[in-house]
Amino acid sequence: MLVSTRNDEEPEVGLAEIELTAEGACDAMFEGFSSLRRVFQWHSAEVSRVPAGSVVLAENDACAVQAMRWGVCAYGFQFHAEISETTVTDWESIPQYMESLCEALGAERAHLLAAEVRPLLPNFRSDAYLLSENLREIVLRNRPHSDDDRPA
């Protein structure tokens, strides 16, 4: 196995702050991002050991590997950049997910998560767009060129 994972004793669910590492602050994936980001989490497993040659790009106290890169263009994220207007309510409809939500936040706060996330969706959308554009640039910069693509 390239990455070693473990189940968390306590799930990381809801809104959280992550911080870019020194390597993350210099990585093309996070170009245009501040070093401290608010993100959406919903997981009960985490990377406990990264593969040789990989770099941890973001972290927080709950999970030491919030983002990582292996090689030139393989990235992994612990947080959910893909969150949309329906993510929380869709996932709340899955009994196991709702259970982890209530376990992490308490029943009262769990039922308020969708409302808590809603005003942050424009920022999450902007972050997701920037991540996808940064990845596109990384891939284009590192793609193999055929003889037809090379300048004369």
What local confidence, expressed as pLDDT, does residue 151 receive? 57
Tell which wins on pLDDT, 3 or 82: 82
Q: Is the pTM of this model over 0.75?
A: yes
What local confidence, expressed as pLDDT, does residue 149 receive? 58
SS3 annotation, 18-84: EEECHHHHHCHHHCCCCCEEEEEEEEEEEEEECCCCEEEEEECCCCCCCEEEECCCEEEECCCCCCC
What local confidence, expressed as pLDDT, does residue 33 receive? 96
Q: Is the pLDDT of residue 112 over 60?
A: yes
What local confidence, expressed as pLDDT, does residue 113 receive? 93
What local confidence, expressed as pLDDT, does residue 108 receive? 92
What local confidence, expressed as pLDDT, does residue 58 receive? 97
Q: How far apart (Å, rounded) are the C-alpha atoms in residues 76 and 78? A: 7
Tell which wins on pLDDT, 22 or 4: 22
Q: Is the pLDDT of residue 42 over 50?
A: yes
> For 117-141, what is each residue's pLDDT tens digit?
999 999 999 999 999 999 999 999 9
Mean pLDDT of the chain: 88
Tell which wins on pLDDT, 151 or 16: 16
